[in-house]
Amino acid sequence: MTVRRLTGVVGVAAGLALLLSSCGDGKSSGGSGDAGSKSEVIGIAADPLEYINPLNDNGTAGIGVSMAIFAPLVTTDPETGKLQNVMADSVTPDQNSQTWTIKLKPGNTFQNGQALTAKDYVDSWNLTAEGSNGWKNNGFFSKVEGYDAMNPPAPDGATPKPTSVKALSGLKQVDNLTFTVKLKVPFSQFGLTLQYYGLAPLPEEVRKNPDAYKRKPIGNGPYKLAADWNAGDDLKLTKWDGYKGPTIPQADQITYRFIPNADTAYNEFLAGNLDFVDVPSTKVKSFKTDAPDQWVTSVSSGANYLVIPAWDARFKNPKLRYAISAAIDRKAFADLVGLSEPAKGLIAPDIAGYRDDACKYCDFDAAKAKQLLQEAGGFSGVLNINYNTTSATGQIYAEAIGNMLRQNLGVQVKYTGKQGSEITELADTRKLDGLRFSGWGHDYPSIEDYLTPMFKSNGDANFAGYANPALDALLAKGDAEPDPDKAIAVYQQAEDIALEDLPLIPLYTKSNAYLHSAKIAPRVSKYVGVSALWATFK
């Protein structure tokens, strides 16, 4: 996959979405297509999707599937790392980077034959920006003029009430292929954000009744639905000849299979039933001998954290949060996870602006941790650690962290296992008790995409429910800075505030490993990672 959000992942497994594929050789029950055709089965180690709508999904599994069905405006070129137009013909900012003009390439259509126009983007984005709809990528539009009128204040964790305003005042259609986006303030990174699949357009018939199409998506990407799909079933796709993107994937048919257990998928590969599989954390020490000459590794553009709930008054004292952080032996934990390194900050190491000494509370020091806990007045009650039961390593990692906190702080610890989706729902409604794990991978390669979603007061992936006006102000200042290097320096100041408040405790960064058969060669890029979707067939 390319860059990914990990918001749906709870349980350090990092539960990065699992991508696996198999050629249509009859070995896989999910295979499809005629003999000799190039077909893949791409499985995802996550709970089955309930629907497909990239505008209402910021989790790894849903966005991963959307990469096949939908096409973005722009993308990162896997060869050069530079922005490349896909549906967009041009993306042009004004002098202040506040009003952006987006012109579409002519001749593109949706998979139902409807011409792709500027109106489709304008109307789709307005649907998402309307707070009462409760769509998950609503926060993306918070920078657009008119957003506040569509998103009146609501109790923490609640969906805003409907308003009479149904359109962003900053979003205007100029002609059939051109529209403009006026932001509240200048934002020099906006052009990069347009590669996010959560901005995909929906055709008119879907916009009129999104619920009716949640299991029969109509996209504008390289693959379309090949058969009826019910939640929990394999998702069968076939190549769509109408796609005119800059690069055409080789597979003729793709089947997405949802496999709750990553170890099961790994064993399916070893049994010869799959051609590509993500190596789970439980196998990072054995995959090279399990499948000699059939593996690749790639540094993950992501980071993993322990989330402190800002809504729980027991964690209000910052010294308590520092104590928890200092009590964690990150080197030992990274060794347990495998293919991992201790985190030094909130940003992935391959992002411009990363500093390997950003976090001053991330060094393991048991004595200091106990002192900080004492200065904080101790901890009241039993410390609960939530973990994802669908992750093979969720409980193992939770207990590893819990043992460190018990031994180094002397606190009582308990563990609660739930499905990842349930943990996320409880956290979103501020009803989750205790700590949980989270991970994040950027949607576009910018330090800003690690800060705004997770740490801005209304960030759409603000796991902790955290808010600090000083950090918000620095993000706004960085957004308005047209010089990239100067902007990074301002964003680093915002990161410093987040590290001082520590609503998310950095844990580790991870490399990913994959197994592949001799039939395919997955695309490997230092800019966008490893992809089975764009594999080359031999």
CATH code for the domain in which residue 178 is found:
3.90.76.10
Specify whether 373 is located in the same domain as 424: yes
* Secondary structure element (H or E) that encloses residue 508, with its range: strand 504-516
Task: Mention every residue, 6+ apart, whose C-beta is less than 8 A from residue 28.
Answer: 22, 41, 273, 274
Whether 290 is in a domain gets the answer yes
**Domain encompassing residue 174:** 48-217
Whether 7 is in a domain gets the answer no
- Quick count: other Cβ atoms within 10 Å of Cβ 380? 10
Specify whether 209 is located in the same domain as 270: no
Please work out, in degrees rounded to the nearest 5, the angle formed at the alpha carbon of residue 109 by the alpha carbons of 105 and 115. Answer: 90
- Quick count: other Cβ atoms within 10 Å of Cβ 237? 28
Specify whether 526 is located in the same domain as 499: no
Specify whether 52 is located in the same domain as 111: yes
Q: Is the pLDDT of residue 443 over 80?
A: no
Whether 28 is in a domain gets the answer no
Task: Mention every residue, 6+ apart, whose C-beta is less than 8 A from residue 523.
Answer: 78, 530, 531, 534, 535, 536
Specify whether 57 is located in the same domain as 89: yes
Whether 24 is in a domain gets the answer no
CATH code of the domain covering residue 476: 3.10.105.10
Specify whether 287 is located in the same domain as 332: no
Specify whether 490 is located in the same domain as 533: no
Q: Is the pLDDT of residue 29 over 60?
A: no
Whether 494 is in a domain gets the answer yes
Q: What is the pLDDT of residues 390-441, one digit of tens each?
A: 887 899 999 999 999 999 999 999 999 999 989 999 998 999 999 999 999 8
Q: Say if residues 195 and 140 touch (Cβ distance below 8 Å).
A: no
Specify whether 158 is located in the same domain as 202: yes
Specify whether 329 is located in the same domain as 274: no
Q: What is the pTM of this model?
A: 0.74
Torsion of CA 238, 239, 241, 246, to 10 degrees: 150
Specify whether 56 is located in the same domain as 180: yes
Q: Name residue 136's beta-bridge partners.
A: none
Specify whether 170 is located in the same domain as 264: no
Distances (CA, A) of 25 to 34, 273, 274, 364: 10, 9, 10, 51
Whether 237 is in a domain gets the answer no
Give the length of the chain: 538
Whether 247 is in a domain gets the answer no
Q: Measured between alpha carbons, how far is 143 from 480 in angstroms, rounded to an integer?
A: 11
Q: Is the pLDDT of residue 27 over 80?
A: no
Q: What is the pLDDT of residues 151-204, one digit of tens each?
A: 998 887 688 889 999 999 999 999 999 999 999 988 888 998 999 999 999 999
Specify whether 469 is located in the same domain as 358: yes
Report the number of distinct structural domains present in the chain: 3
The percent of residues in the chain predicted with pLDDT above 90, rounded, is: 67
Task: Look at residues 105, 171, 163, 173 and name the one whose alpha carbon lies nearest to residue 132.
Answer: 163
* Secondary structure element (H or E) that encloses residue 488, with its range: helix 484-501
